[in-house]
Amino acid sequence: MEKDEILKQLNPEQASAAGTVNGPVLVLAGAGTGKTRVITFRIAYMLACGIPPQMILGMTFTNKAAREMRERLAQLVQPQIARKVTLGTFHSFCIKILRRDIAKLGYLPSFTIADESDQQGVLKQAAGQLGCNYEGFPLGEVQSMIGRWKNKLFFPEDARRHADTTFEATAAQLYEEYQTLLEMQNSLDFDDMLLLVYRLFTEHPDVLERYRETYQYLLIDEYQDTNAAQFTIVKLLTGDRCNLCVVGDDDQSIYSWRGADISNILGFPDHFPGAKVVKLEQNYRSTTSILNAANVVIGSNANRHEKQLWSNLGDGEPVKIVTTENGESEAEFIGSMITQMKNDKPELRYQDFAILYRSNHLSRQLEQTLRRQQIPYRLVGGQEFFKRREIKDAVAYLKLLVNPCDDQSLLRILGTPPRGLAQKAVDSLKTGRRAKHKPMFELLAEEEFQKELTPKAAAAAREFAEVYAKYKERFAEPGALAWKITEFLKEIGYLDGLQRIYKDLKDAMKRRENVDEFITAITQYEERQAEPPTLEAYLENLALLEESDKVEEETGTVDAVTLMTVHASKGLEFPVVFVVAMERNIFPHERALEEGSVEEELRLFYVAITRARKYLYLLRAKERMQRGITRATLPSPFLHLLTDEVAERTTPEELLRPASEDEVRQAFANIFKILKSDQ
C-alpha cells in the first residue's frame, strides 16, 4: 500500500500522528479515539517509507495489546514483513536482551523468573539469615518497598542511602540479602527485568550502542503507565536520534500504586525538546451524553493535558444517577434492569452488560442477587488458575529443569508428594548451601550428601536426581512439550502422588483435573507457535502473563454479565455499564480522601464512565452494610460534578416498568427451578 493511501484511511489528527516519522512525537489519545489504529497505521507508513522492519520497536504493557497490533499490521502489510517488526511488552523485550547479554552481569542465560510466592520464600530466607524475626515483621510491606525501589532504579546501596527510618534501614538490609540470594539461585523477580537491563546499558555502553543501532525507531503504547525504570530505558535507547513516538492518555493514568509516574507523559515536551504533540479527541465508542459526563468529570483535574472528547454517534440516552435504599436494593435494581433491557431490546445479550466497582468486596451482594434472578455472570479477578497450589507445584518442577540453581523451586517440591526426604534432609541442604555455596539440587545429587541420609532417603534423593538428569536431556530438544511434561510429572511421582498430598479423594481428583487442564493449556500454547517451543520459552511466556491477559481469558466469549473492578475494566468497552457504590469513602476510596489526593481516583471514575458505549448507570445507596454494620452513606463527591445538564437523577421506581404476564411466569419458573435444585 502506498504512503498516501495509508494516511487517507485516517482522520486528520490520526494522519498527522501516523505521518510524522522522525523526531519525538506525543500522541494524546483520549478514550476510544483509535490509538491502536494510529500505531499500526504509523508502522505501516514507516515501512512504506522504506524503513526496514527490523529497525522498528513497539512496546506496550500487555500481550493482548501487542498481539492485536501485530494482527492489525498483518492486514496492512505482508505478514512476513509484519513478523519482522519487534512488538511486545516492556518485560518481554527486556528478557530478550537479558537472555543474550546477562552473562556480562554474572548470571547464567538459563535464569528463571521468581513469582510472588518464590519472592516471599527468598525474603523469608533473607530475614532468617539476618536474624530478623519475620513472623512479627511485615515482610509483605518490605516486598512492596523493594519493588518500588527497583522501579526507581534504586540498588541496595541506594536504598540504604535513602532510608529515613529504622524500618526502611532494615528493609534496605533485607533488600541486599534478598538480591544476593536471588543471584545465587540464578533467578530474577519481575522488577529485575527492567533494573538489570538498565544496569547492562549503563555498565556496558557497547551493548547499549548495539541496541540503539538495531532499533532506530521506537513506539511506546500506554505511555502514561510507564515508571521511572521504563522511562530511563526508553531515554537510553532513543539516544541522539530521538525517533520516538509515544501514545497515551494522562487522563487514564490509574496505576501509581504500581509505580506508574504520570509526570512521564505530562513532561514529555520537556524531556524531549522539540516534540510534536497531537491530540486525538474524536471518540468512536460512546454517545455524546456519555462523553459530556466524562469531559465534565476529568475537567476538574488541574494537572493534565487539555483535551475534549467528542463523537458523531449522536446524543443517545442521558447518563442516569440512580439512588437506591441500600446495597441489596441496588443489586436487585441492576438485576431487574438487565432483564427489562434484554426484553425490550432483543439485540442485547448478557455479555453486553458490565457491573463495575471500586473494590472487589462489593461483588458479593451482586453475585447473590444475579444467582437468585438466574442471570448468568462471570466474575473477573477470582482465584487465578495459575495461582492454584497444584499448578504452582507443577510449574516449580519444570522451573528446576530449566534452572538447577533455583533453590526455592526445589524446596517447594522436594516433599510434594512425600518421598522420604524429611526436614532433617532439608536442613542439611540449607546448611550445605551456605557452607559450600552450591545450589541445593547439586548437593542433593552428590554421593557425599546422600551418605548423611537414611538408606530410604538416600535412595529417594538418587532417584529424584536421576529422573531430572534424564529429562533435562530430553527437554534440550524443542517441541512435544505437553507430552514430555506429562511423562516427566508421571515419572517424578507428582501425578500419582496427588492422592498422598490431598487426603480427600474428591479434592485430589479435582486437583488432578486442574493439572490435566494445565497440560491442555501447554498443548494450546504449542499449537499457537510458529516454531517448536522450548520449555524455557513456555515458562517465560507463563511468567509474563499480564493481568489484562488474564482478564481477557476470564471475559472470554461466554454470554454472561461481567463483574469486575474499574481497574480491571481499562481497555474494555460494553454497551451497558453499571457503576455501583458511588459513595464517599468507597469511590473515591477513603485512603485518597485522607491523604487529600483524589486526582487519580477522579481519573479512575473517568475510566469507568468511558467504558460505556450507549447506556451508563451510576448507582449510590442511602445506606450500606460495611464490616457487618449497616451505616448511612453520603453520595460520592464525584456525583456533585455531574450537573442536571449532563446527568439525570432518578430512582429504580421511575426506571422499572411493571412486569408483563410472561415475565411474571418466567420469574416463578425460575423460583421453582431453584427450589427443585435445592431439594
Active-site residues: which are they?
A: 35-36, 221-222, 252, 611
Q: Identify which of 315, 224, 227 has the alpha carbon closest to the alpha carbon of residue 607.
A: 224
- Cα 636 to chain centroid, rounded: 28
Q: Is 314 annotated as a binding residue?
A: no
Running DSSP on this structure, what letter comes out for residue 279?
E
Q: Is 36 annotated as a binding residue?
A: yes
472, with CB counted inside 10 A (0-12, 13-18, 19+), is middle
Residue 248 CA to residue 32 CA, distance in Å, equals 12
Residue 573 CA to residue 613 CA, distance in Å, equals 7
Amino acid identity, residue 46?
A: M
Contact 354, 561 (CB under 8 A): yes
**Cis peptide before 404, with omega less than 30 degrees from 0?**
no
Contact 66, 227 (CB under 8 A): no
Quick one: three-class SS letters along 304-358? CCCCCCEECCCCCCCEEEEEEEEHHHHHHHHHHHHHHHHHHCCCCCHHHEEEEEC
Cell output for 51: 524503513
Q: Is 32 annotated as a binding residue?
A: yes
Concatenate the DSSP letters of all residues of 651-672 into one string.
Answer: -HHHHPPPPPHHHHHHHHHHHH
Contact 625, 581 (CB under 8 A): no
Contact 188, 6 (CB under 8 A): no
Q: Which residues contact 206 (CB under 8 A, 6 or more apart)?
A: none
Q: Identify which of 277, 358, 386, 371 has the alpha carbon closest to the alpha carbon of residue 618.
A: 358
572, with CB counted inside 10 A (0-12, 13-18, 19+), is middle
List the Cα angle 675/677/678 in 5-degree steps: 65
Q: Three-class SS of residue 632?
A: strand
Q: Three-class SS of residue 562?
A: strand
Q: Is 571 annotated as a binding residue?
A: no
Q: Identify which of 390, 539, 403 has the alpha carbon closest to the alpha carbon of residue 472.
A: 403
Residue 640 phi, psi (nearest 5):
-65, -20
Contact 378, 366 (CB under 8 A): no
Q: Is 425 annotated as a binding residue?
A: no
Residue 338 CA to residue 561 CA, distance in Å, equals 9
* Block residue for cell numbers 554474572: 106
Q: Is 3 annotated as a binding residue?
A: no
Q: Three-class SS of residue 246?
A: strand
Q: Is 30 annotated as a binding residue?
A: yes
Running DSSP on this structure, what letter comes out for residue 53?
G
Residue 168 CA to residue 160 CA, distance in Å, equals 8
Rg (CA), the chain: 28
**Cis peptide before 417, with omega less than 30 degrees from 0?**
yes
Q: Which residues are annotated as a binding site for ATP?
A: 29-36
Q: Which residues are annotated as a binding site?
A: 29-36
